[in-house]
A and B are shown apart, each in its own frame.
Chain A
Amino acid sequence: MKNRTKLPNLYLGVVLALMYVPILLVILYSFNESKISSVWGGFSLKWYGELFRDREMFQALWNSIVLGVLSSLCAAVIGTLGAYGMSKVKFPLKGAVEYVSTLPIMIPEIILGMVFMAFFALIGLPFGMTTLVIAHTSFSIPYVFMLVKARLVGMDKSLPEAAQDLGASPVRVFLDVTLPLVFPAILSGMLLAFAMSMDDVIISVFVTGVDTNTLPVKVYTQLKTGVTPEINALCTLLFAATLLLCGVAALLGRAPKKQESEKDVTEP
């Protein structure tokens, strides 16, 4: 009987360990003196030095951060207001509108990228930060929308009603009662949107301008051409940032996966 309970745990452990192998190798080789990644040439920090001198890389990192912040902020405003309004109004095509607004995370990213590229070319929008922000906002909105919607469903309806009965205007009710209550969901959604934005290669490749490289696009082109251990160093730092972000998410008390709906957060 005891054997039966041990075996599944062993399986979990082995699969988890295997998941970390590629990441740990990247970290390990970032400290490798040798340029050839299959040879261990001793401990060195020289690739970090080289990374910090790489201005283009930092520009790309900065672009990615700006993009992630802007698009998750836009998504937070549009998604939150949308989820709030949708929970109150009733109209015939409501279900259809909700479905279409979550389409960007249902359809393959390649289609979204292609579609945006063609559309921006049609309306003559120059490719750059603007196009990136619009594209990233489009796939960020569904995360905020769905999380806030789930939160609103689970919320105590009597609280905004009480505020209203006490004479608060609808705007006041929203700002003073509803917003603070759904705030954790908004934050979770933004955090998720930011992470997705920072990780996106496919859509960005299509809508990025000549001189607005995002970090993932830059790393992608480097991986395709010649790989230098500088990429290892960069990846290690990014991984550290991810750990930090996960820590923040855990500190927020509710990582996105622990929402009321008890559904887990995954990438589209």
Chain B
Amino acid sequence: MAKETSLKRRQARGDFLTTLPLILFTVMFVVGPLVYVVVLSFLTRAETWGTVPEFTLKNYADIAQPVYLGTFWQSLRLAFLSTLLVIAIGYPFGYFMAKLGPKWKRRTTLLLMIPFWTSSLIRLYGWIIIFRAGGVFDSLLMALHITSEPLKLLYTYPAVVVGMVYALLPFMIFAVYSSAEKLDFSLVEAARDLGASPMKAFFTVSLKLTLPGLLSGVVLTFVPSMGLFFIADILGGNKVVLVGNLIQDQLMKAHNWPFAAALSVVLLVLTTVIIWLYRKLSGVKDLEGLV
């Protein structure tokens, strides 16, 4: 009996040992850095290089400057617009996809996975070819006599929006699809048989049951869209400045690390609020469609 408990204890110790690498790594390289950045955001910037260990709230006060508030506002607006467009395109896609037969479901998934697994830079580069002055898009419009001169869409706001939507669309599709796939379509039919209009059946049954997927898709598009500085960089030139671009500039060019840290903390808080809201609204713990 005593031997058995000691064996059990030894085994429990062994099980705990296997979790150690994960816990250690997480504490050292996730919790540690995050805590450090929060601390950093309250430190004073040194005159020349680095930081002085003096407590200040200046970095947060600086964010309230109109220039930086404007950047946050622009980021949020772009994230909002991109998310709306991604819903408009991605939701029907995921929903219709769930209605396909098993064979076509597999094929469509594969066809979606290929561009999704393709480097995002390649896909971005394709849009440069399309949008640049005298590029594919301009040539097409001019050949169709819709416009008479090049639109020069590259380095404009619409180009950034298209790039964002294109990059984030798969997340929404997968999230909605994984939710819609579990939907029992006979419920929709039942609602129709009971006299509901197609619209009403959709809103009261389908939409309600696929809401977790939709919300998860919203989180998966909204959250990263504020940080995707390379899309704004490459397709927007320097006309579109997002929080991500601002953080990068403050780190790499202005070398104002405490300010960059404060910006990150604000963005992190914003992200946490969104994820928390998602959990409250959907009642799901894990993000649907995220692995």
Docked pose: A264 CA to B98 CA in angstroms: 13
- Decide if A119 touches B234 in the complex (CB within 8 Å): no
Q: Within 8 Å of chain A (Cβ to Cβ): is B37?
A: yes
- Decide if A268 touches B290 in the complex (CB within 8 Å): yes
Query: What is the 8 Å Cβ interface bit string for chain B, positions 258-282, against chain A (1 contact, 0 not)?
Result: 0011001001100100010000000
Residues of chain B contacted by A159 (CB below 8 angstroms):
none
- Decide if A89 touches B128 in the complex (CB within 8 Å): no
Q: Within 8 Å of chain B (Cβ to Cβ): is A77?
A: yes
Docked pose: A108 CA to B264 CA in angstroms: 10
- Decide if A19 touches B115 in the complex (CB within 8 Å): yes
Q: Within 8 Å of chain A (Cβ to Cβ): is B164?
A: no
Residues of chain B contacted by A238 (CB below 8 angstroms):
118-119, 122
Which of chain B's residues 225-273 have a Cβ closer than 8 Å to chain A? 226-230, 233-234, 243-244, 247-248, 251, 257, 260-261, 264, 267-268, 271
- Decide if B108 touches A110 in the complex (CB within 8 Å): no
- Decide if A268 touches B33 in the complex (CB within 8 Å): no
Q: Which of B18, B29, B134, B170 makes the CB contact (< 8 A) with A266?
A: B170
Residues of chain A contacted by B122 (CB below 8 angstroms):
23, 26, 235, 238-239
Residues of chain A contacted by B11 (CB below 8 angstroms):
170
Q: Within 8 Å of chain B (Cβ to Cβ): is A201?
A: yes
> Whole-angstrom distance from the CB of A89 to the nearest CB of chain B?
5
Of the listed stretches A41-49, A51-59, A218-226, chain B binds A218-226
Residues of chain B contacted by A259 (CB below 8 angstroms):
291
Q: Within 8 Å of chain A (Cβ to Cβ): is B188?
A: no
Q: Which of A89, A97, A118, A170 makes the CB contact (< 8 A) with B36?
A: A118
Residues of chain A contacted by B100 (CB below 8 angstroms):
9, 12
Q: List 5 A-B contacts (CB under 8 A).
A: A100-B31, A145-B22, A205-B248, A231-B125, A238-B118
Q: A residues engaging B (CB < 8 A)?
A: 8-9, 11-12, 15-16, 19-26, 29, 37-38, 77-79, 81-82, 84-86, 88-89, 97, 100-101, 103-111, 114-119, 122, 134, 137-138, 141-143, 145-147, 150, 170-171, 174, 192, 195, 198-199, 201-202, 205-206, 216, 219-220, 223-224, 227, 231-232, 235, 238-239, 242-243, 245-246, 249-250, 255-257, 259, 262-268
Additional A-B contacts beyond A114-B37, A114-B260, A264-B289 (13; CB < 8 A): A19-B112, A19-B166, A25-B130, A89-B12, A103-B34, A106-B275, A106-B290, A108-B224, A170-B14, A174-B18, A192-B291, A205-B248, A242-B117
